[in-house]
Amino acid sequence: MKEHIKRFLFGGDSFKKDFIHQIKYLVILTLAFTIAFSWRETVFNATKSFIQSIISVQSLNVLSVLTSLTVTIFSVIIIWIMIKSLEE
């Protein structure tokens, strides 16, 4: 009985393994978000320069929307390709 209560409150061996696994995923996710956040401005500015070289846009708002749209479309295409390539 005492062992069942201890296992219920503190978890068993599988709980500890799963907890460590979840902590690893949390660290990976945090670092991935940090990397993506640091590259965000670089990708945006490079795409903005590319859009400006193709299209003559006077309004900064229109340029910003076109840049965001381009990055979004490009990202969705990459996601779609990755999903299709990882299908079984």
Tell me the C-alpha distance between 73 and 77, whole Å.
6
Burial of 67 (0-12, 13-18, 19+ CB in 10 A): buried
Query: Residue 57: what pLDDT?
Result: 87
Query: Residue 87: what pLDDT?
Result: 86
Query: Residue 52: what pLDDT?
Result: 93
- Stretches in the chain below the pLDDT threshold 50: none
Query: Residue 8: what pLDDT?
Result: 65
Query: Residue 10: what pLDDT?
Result: 66
For residues 70 and 51, is the Cβ–Cβ distance under 8 A?
A: yes
Query: Residue 77: what pLDDT?
Result: 96
